[in-house]
Structures are given as C-alpha cells and as structure tokens.
Amino acid sequence: MGNTVEVSHVTKSFNGQFVVNDISFNIAPGEVFGLIGPNGAGKTTIIRMLLDIMRPDSGELRILGSGIDDGIKDMIGYLPEERGLYLKLTVLDSLLYLGALKNKQSKKRAMELLEGMGMLQNKDMKISELSKGMQQKIQLIAAISHDPELIILDEPFSGLDPVNMKLVKDLILELGKQGKTILISTHMMDQVERMCDRIFMIRKGSGVLYGSVNEIKSRFGKNAIQLDFEGELNSIAGVKRINLSGNYAELIFDAGADAQDILRKIVQNVKVNRFEISSPSLNEIFIQVEAGA
C-alpha cells in the first residue's frame, strides 16, 4: 500500500514572499504524524493546500494516490484551529448535519463516538450550553464521524483539561491502530513526542527536521538530564538552560560540561527522586532549532 499523503517539492508564495519553499514529506497509512513549527512558519498554508483551499505555485500534493478532487475531499476529516459549530442545534443534530455534508449520515456512529468521548448524556443539549472543552470534543467527533481515511487535526488539545486531553489522545491513537492516517499540527511538543511516529518541522517556510522522534532526538546527543526533584532548583554551573514543570525539570548542558559533575551539584541543593541522562526533549529541540542553534 502506498502513502496516504505525498507532498513533493511544494512551493507557495504571496506577494513575492515564500510562505512554503520546496517542501517534501510523506505520511503512511496508520501513521500519527506531527506537523510542527512556530507561528507563521507555513503550517496552516500546508494544511490549506492539502484541503484544496489553495493551490501550490509548484510541486505536487497527492492523497490516497490521487490528486485532490471532490471524491478525495470526502475521505478527509478536518478539525480547524478556529472552531465553528451551530450554537442553537443540539449535539446530536449537529453531528448528523455535519455528517450529511460529507454524504455520510450515521446516527449509530455518532452515538458510538459520543459514548467513547463520555458525552452520550449530552446528546440533547444545545451546543451553546456546552463548555469550551465539550464543544472541542464535539467538533473532533464531527471531524471523524464520516469515517475518513485521513484526519487533519489543527491544535486538537486546545482548551482541554488533562482528563479530556487523555480522552482525545486515546481516540487519536486508536484511530491510528484502525489504519487511519492522522496529521496533527500543535504547539504542545510533549504530546507530539508521546504520540507521533514521525514529525516534520517547518521554519520560515522551509523544512528543518523530518524523521522519527527518536531519530531526531538522537541527532542532538545526550546533553540533558531529566530530573524529578524536591526543593528549589537554582542556576547551576555547566547548565545553560533549565526547563521547569512543577517538580520536574530538564537541564540542558553547556558544550563540554560533565554530566556527573552537574549531578553532584544538583544533589547538594535539592532532593533527587529520579534522574536520567538523555537526549533533549522535543520541546527543547524545538527551542534550539527556532533559535537557529
């Protein structure tokens, strides 16, 4: 079986400025693929070209082995970053209406998806009565209710609490196991690192990273310590950056710094529950690449 998505040497410019410049990548069936990059890098333009909202100036995009026509579009599910639901409709009526737009209206599937997302009891509520996070889940269900082969999710975790984030993550991974192809565009690097098989990072319109998460991380060497600690972690000689998240921290070494020496300094200041010398996180790699390091 061929690739679900093939992007070959695609270029797009506006007013003489390249927004996407000679981009190439592919996505295999059943793959969860991350499209990442800073704001204004060209991610949205790539998504719009995949949806045939705009056409490339040069290069080729193919989905399921074909050019992008109306038949192919019906096989794509899309969750836009800018959400939009009919606030006066009920949850179930919204899903049936949006499914009909894709020529597939299935009450049974809508009910199954609502149950899987813990929202079956909300089926008769109006969209306007739902919280932002609940509306987000309904929009995701709407994007996949017609059983598409390619699912494009733009910031799928926006507005979700940790419980609902896990529900969405589990659904995405299950869809991948079912053979659906998932393209995720998000700023949440921790979720990309946990979920995605491969990633493509775009910066200023050009591709700068492409491959499996583990392969990309290995290119940056083992220049980090992942730390679970108690106490107050202050600046440490030999550490150029500390990425803190509660009692967890990622410490990035200076070039030539000795990891064992840094660990000795750490245990003098805080209680260490767990540590691991590792490659930097995808979030740290994102920071380094964006900074041009």
What was the pLDDT predicted at 104? 65
What was the pLDDT predicted at 103? 58
Determine the average pLDDT of the residues in 182-187: 93
Torsion angle in degrees (nearest 10) through CA of 232, 233, 237, 241: -150
One-letter amino acid at 192 equals V
Helix, strand, coil percent content, the chain, rounded in steps of 5:
35, 30, 35
Query: Tens digit of pLDDT for each residue in 238-266?
Result: 888 888 888 899 989 888 888 888 888 88
Q: Parallel, antiparallel, or unpaired for β 32-36 and 198-203? A: parallel
Query: Tens digit of pLDDT for each residue in 12-65?
Result: 999 888 999 999 999 999 999 999 988 888 999 999 999 999 999 999 999 998
What was the pLDDT predicted at 219? 87
What was the pLDDT predicted at 223? 85
Determine the average pLDDT of the residues in 142-148: 88
Contact partners, residue 180, CB within 8 Å, separation at least 6: 30, 144, 148, 149, 150, 151
Query: Cβ(5)–Cβ(26) under 8 Å?
Result: yes
Residue 292 reports pLDDT greater than 80: no
Supply φ then ψ for residue 67, to 5 degrees.
-65, 170
Residue 293 reports pLDDT greater than 60: no
Determine the average pLDDT of the residues in 71-90: 84
Length of the chain measured in residues: 293
Residue 92 reports pLDDT greater than 80: yes
9-18, 96-105, 151-160: segment of lowest average pLDDT:
96-105
SS3 of 123, please?
coil
Residue 142 or residue 1, greater confidence: 142
What was the pLDDT predicted at 253? 87
Residue 162 reports pLDDT greater than 80: yes
What was the pLDDT predicted at 121? 92
Determine the average pLDDT of the residues in 143-148: 88
Mean pLDDT of the chain: 88
Confidence of residue 1 (pLDDT cuts 50, 70, 90): low
Confidence of residue 197 (pLDDT cuts 50, 70, 90): very high
Q: Parallel, antiparallel, or unpaired for β 58-63 and 5-14? A: antiparallel
Question: Tokens standing for 213?
Answer: 């998460």
